[in-house]
Structure 1
Amino acid sequence: MAGASKKPHVLAFPFPIPGHTNSLMHFCRRLAACDVTITYASNPSNMKLMHQTRDLIADPHAKSNVRIVEVSDNPGNSMRSSNDLAKGDPSENLEKPIVAVRAMAASVRELIRKLQEDGNPVCCMITDTFNGFTQDLADEFGIPRAVFWTSNAISDIYHLFLPELMSKGFVPVASKFSLPSRKTDELITFLPGCPPMPATDLPLSFYYDHPILGMVCDGASRFAEARFALCNTYEELEPHAVATLRSEMKSSYFPVGPCLSPAFFAGESTAVGRSSELLSPEDLACLEWLDTQKESSVIYVSFGSVATMSVEQFQELARGLERSNQPFVLVLRKTLVADPSVHDFFEGLKQRIGKRGIVISWAPQMHVLLHPAVGGFLTHCGWNSTVEGICAGVPMLAWPCMAEQNVNCKELVEHWKLAIPVQDDRDKSSTVSVSSERIADLVVRLMRGDEGREMRARAREFREATAAAIAEGGSSDRNLKAFAQALRDFV
């Protein structure tokens, strides 16, 4: 082949929220080590984070293979940082990036054209599943598209069959608290690899009132057109879902995850350095506090960068942690609770708990989860947080809020047995769905009970399996190299 000696050059285009941009960059970091050149299109607010992630590449040659290019996301709709996404409204948190990514499309088109004119054309586009419209860009320039799914394989099945779920009336899913039943009692029996299931078990983003339903539908409608599908999971974690997708999809399907910082696979947590350049004073104070705690005694509580909570529910959560008498790290992101009265409550909480717990505005999650003092994780079940908990070998309390987090929760609780569900069958439409008494009981069960000890041992086994998948010769490593070879066939 005439161009066989040339290195493949790909363009990576994420969905511009932190969890998605960082996962794709971590994948690109590993792909670059396979001698693939990558141009990564980032909106302005994520540039610093992307450079920090790229700098984790130890090999100078591989690092030089990744070039981060800033593309406009429209100054009139500029994105904010991960700690300042919105004023407590999840729909605003998610609608702004939808506007931004559409605005980025024109700049990305010009970037592809310029790369061609400069004699450095791309042979493939790697774009987030949510960016379904990028299939048009790939078709326009005659280059293949690889769709990058930041979550798990079982959710990939649901998205692959979303058009059929819609045509048969199962989606949009009607919440039992807001609409009369609409196919909520009829079981879905046509999803390959899945047992019969009610529509209410589908991702929360398939519900009629979810702010990203339209974008999810657009992305799913173009999913099957991609030449390749890359998934942030690994074969040993979801063998049946992976096998199903490989048999059902025309695209080549590569589970290449987890796409995380290399520190998660470095072995003992003590191997993780604490660079003052990357950690804020608040971060360092949190880690120093953890240094004073007993091994596996602290429960870490975080709801990610987008989810929100009523002030009443937050107060119950805090009272539950207080009532449990367990040391804790609680992340009170300034957009988690919209009601300003939470800050008065917060001051009173600090006085009552003394040195038994700390409340911070943001946390260095990798360092916290890998710290030997942390023995449990109360999480919203975002996929990044889920796999970070697995990779750290930490059992979880699962409290899903939005998107596909209910699916992740089900996997954690029922299939992998690494978590206890937080919510019960009460009316989840109320401002308080989980009482402080229940939260306290769950914390005690996870941190001091036999159930938690068994999960902790199981979590360590999962951690070892995950590290093996990502290591040289493991399943994710083989899939990564197979994808890199497929790219070489295009040049």
Structure 2
Amino acid sequence: MMSADAQKTLVFIPFPIMSHLVSAVDTAKLLADRDDRLYITILIMKRTVDTKISSYTTKSHHPQINFLHLQENKSIASGSMEDKNWAFLFAESHKGLARDVVVEMMESQKGTLAGFVLDMFCTPMIDVANELGAPAYIFFPSGSATLGLMFHLQSLRDDHGKNMKEYEDSDEKISIPTYVNPVPAKVWPIKVFDNETGFLECARRYRETRGIIVNTFLEFEHHAISSLSAEARVPPVYPVGPMIQGRGEENEENKRKREEIIAWLDKQPHSSVVFLCFGTRGSFEGGQVKEIAAALEKSGVRFLWSLRKPPPKESVEFPGEYEDPEQALPEGFLRNTTGIGKVIGWAPQMAVLSHPAVGGFVSHCGWNSTLESVWCGVPMAAWPLFAEQQVNAFQLVKDFEMAIEIKIDYRKKDGGVVAAGTIESAIRQLMDPENKIRLKVKEVHDKTRAALVEGGSSYNFLGRLLENIMEN
């Protein structure tokens, strides 16, 4: 044990949306648990939109971790995540506040500043780290193949003068080192086609950092991690996952709903239920809801469907709950599926996926949901909606051959409707006990927990990361 003044302080700046925050806090806990000389301060940039964040931070306790809330910057805080470079501007506008808080904090306590761990969208904060003479690390909550895609496209643009606009809506496919198969432009995140989003600018700045922490594990993304490690111009990558978001904070109402959902699942046969859930931002308009309903009814498969009400057009809100789901569903649907199906609003995703009755997951392929399905050993049908979900779906369906495709190049903004027949066929394949994807999912599932225990790949990468931080 070293003396108290050998204490090191690490500053985390997560992006203030729950999916990014929870993984960042989990990473902070992993680091703190491995070394009692490490103290972590998590700076919270305020957004009016996400009220869950304050309640989450007040309930997260760890003796070596504390949360500091920055004042709200009204000029930008009301922006929408759909604005072109909203995230970038948001982080940029908090630089001065973050620097002042860290300077004041370090003056008032013993020890040294070991570095900053910055969210993938908080690259402007690298300037603060540089100003304070501390190394910056990036926390990347998506997968390492996506990280490789960002680096590759940024290099095409900046080193080879390619105009990303030319790829938009094209049928072009290009080889990207972190993927086994050439990746069609139709599944790239939409933000890469527009320079004004600052998305590829983020990747350019990642190259300046001391390392990139990724919520993934070697056995799952072996090809991608190896190819990133072989890249001279990419900082060391530390896959320390899977960090699973678990139950999260439940209020009394959600607790009641969870008990009701689990009680219903308890009555269903083993592996018989398909679970449909599209993440915190996932919802569909009426026409698409009717196609999903028709597919479920025709397939005859038992189902649990998390049906969310779309937010008002052009709003920054998240999808909400229907007072009565019948208003969105075809007439007679609930009556015709009594006993074999259950339509719900909010879903306790991990509790559902880990229930033995659940045999398949129709998902938007958000990275957290992807890791959760692998952790629980539940095969997926891929129906991405936005962000990097299309490229996650491509990786699962084409590279890993461990998911069924519904429509991997589907983009919610295009307003297209996927027909009931396509959905029904995918659900039937997904729920077929003989489908070879079940074996693939089981293989990876068996390795998830081993990665995190002593001697496992993620445990070892975390050790290397900690050594690097403590040397600073």
TM category (shorter chain) comes to: 0.7 to 0.9
Supply the distance in 1 between the matched residues of 2:453 and 2:196 (Cα, whole angstroms).
Answer: 36
Check if 1:320 corresponds to 2:320: no
Tell me the SS of whatever aligns to 2:27.
helix
Decide whether the 8 Å contact of 1:319 with 1:436 is kept in 2.
yes
Supply the distance in 1 between the matched residues of 2:124 and 2:254 (Cα, whole angstroms).
Answer: 37
The one of the two structures with greater contact order (alpha-carbon pairs below 8 A, sep at least 6) is 1
Tell me the SS of whatever aligns to 1:280.
helix
Which of 82, 87, 92 is equivalent to 1:91? 82
User: What 5-or-longer segments of structure 2 have no aligned partner?
Assistant: 314-318
How many angstroms does 1:37 deviate by?
Answer: 1.4
Partner in structure 2 of residue 236 of structure 1: 219
Partner in structure 2 of residue 23 of structure 1: 23
Supply the distance in 2 between the matched residues of 1:473 and 1:214 (Cα, whole angstroms).
Answer: 41
Supply the distance in 1 between the matched residues of 2:150 and 2:249 (Cα, whole angstroms).
Answer: 39
**Residue type matched to 2:199 in 1?**
V
When structure 1 is superposed on structure 2, of 234-243 and 422-431 the one drifting more is 422-431
Q: 1:154 to 1:141 in 2, by over 3 A?
A: same
Partner in structure 1 of residue 281 of structure 2: 306
Partner in structure 2 of residue 203 of structure 1: 188
Q: 1:300 to 1:105 in 2, by over 3 A?
A: farther
Supply the distance in 2 between the matched residues of 1:458 and 1:37 (Cα, whole angstroms).
Answer: 40
Check if 1:447 corresponds to 2:431: yes
Decide whether the 8 Å contact of 1:173 with 1:207 is kept in 2.
no
Summarize deviations over 1:64-117 as a string: whole Å, max 9, x none.
01112222333565579xxxxx8xxx726x876555444443332222111122
Q: 1:441 to 1:202 in 2, by over 3 A?
A: closer
How many angstroms does 1:352 deviate by?
Answer: 3.6
How many angstroms does 1:342 deviate by?
Answer: 7.8
CA RMSD of aligned residues (A): 3.3
Supply the distance in 1 between the matched residues of 2:392 and 2:338 (Cα, whole angstroms).
Answer: 34
How many angstroms does 1:16 deviate by?
Answer: 1.7
Decide whether the 8 Å contact of 1:295 with 1:374 is kept in 2.
yes
User: What 5-or-longer segments of structure 1 have no aligned partner?
Assistant: 56-62, 81-85, 264-271
Q: 1:332 to 1:428 in 2, by over 3 A?
A: closer
Tell me the SS of whatever aligns to 2:99.
helix
Decide whether the 8 Å contact of 2:187 with 2:408 is kept in 1.
no
What pairs with 1:58-207 in structure 2 (closer than 5 Å)?
63-75=62-74, 78=77, 91=82, 100-120=90-110, 121-167=112-158, 168-169=161-162, 171-172=164-165, 174-176=167-169, 181=170, 184-185=171-172, 188=174, 191-192=176-177, 197=182, 200=185, 203-207=188-192
Decide whether the 8 Å contact of 2:273 with 2:359 is kept in 1.
yes
Decide whether the 8 Å contact of 2:138 with 2:212 is kept in 1.
yes
Which of 288, 296, 315 is equivalent to 2:271? 296
Supply the distance in 1 between the matched residues of 2:87 and 2:326 (Cα, whole angstroms).
Answer: 28
Decide whether the 8 Å contact of 1:205 with 1:216 is kept in 2.
no
Supply the distance in 1 between the matched residues of 2:336 and 2:73 (Cα, whole angstroms).
Answer: 46
Summarize deviations over 1:441-461 as a string: whole Å, max 9, x none.
22122113521xx33333222
How many angstroms does 1:367 deviate by?
Answer: 0.7
Summarize deviations over 1:328-360 as a string: whole Å, max 9, x none.
121122336869998623384434422322222
How many angstroms does 1:122 deviate by?
Answer: 2.7
Q: 1:132 to 1:29 in 2, by over 3 A?
A: same
Q: 1:401 to 1:346 in 2, by over 3 A?
A: same
Q: 1:418 to 1:489 in 2, by over 3 A?
A: same
Decide whether the 8 Å contact of 2:219 with 2:444 is kept in 1.
no
How many angstroms does 1:141 deviate by?
Answer: 0.8
What pairs with 1:252-401 in structure 2 (closer than 5 Å)?
252-261=236-245, 279-335=254-310, 344-346=327-329, 348=331, 349-401=333-385
**Residue type matched to 1:422 in 2?**
I
**Residue type matched to 1:208 in 2?**
F
**Residue type matched to 1:33 in 2?**
D
Q: 1:477 to 1:195 in 2, by over 3 A?
A: closer
Tell me the SS of whatever aligns to 1:461.
helix
Supply the distance in 2 between the matched residues of 1:343 and 1:102 (Cα, whole angstroms).
Answer: 44
Summarize deviations over 1:446-491 as a string: whole Å, max 9, x none.
113521xx3333322211111111111100011111111221112x
Which of 191, 202, 210 is equivalent to 1:219? 202
Supply the distance in 1 between the matched residues of 2:297 and 2:168 (Cα, whole angstroms).
Answer: 33
Supply the distance in 1 between the matched residues of 2:414 and 2:230 (Cα, whole angstroms).
Answer: 42
Q: 1:314 to 1:102 in 2, by over 3 A?
A: farther
How many angstroms does 1:239 deviate by?
Answer: 1.8
How many angstroms does 1:219 deviate by?
Answer: 1.3
How many angstroms does 1:129 deviate by?
Answer: 1.5
Q: 1:10 to 1:347 in 2, by over 3 A?
A: farther
Tell me the SS of whatever aligns to 2:113.
coil
Partner in structure 1 of residue 446 of structure 2: 464
How many angstroms does 1:319 deviate by?
Answer: 1.9
Tell me the SS of whatever aligns to 1:123.
strand
Q: 1:17 to 1:173 in 2, by over 3 A?
A: farther
Q: Structure 1-normalised TM-score?
A: 0.82
Q: Structure 2-normalised TM-score?
A: 0.85
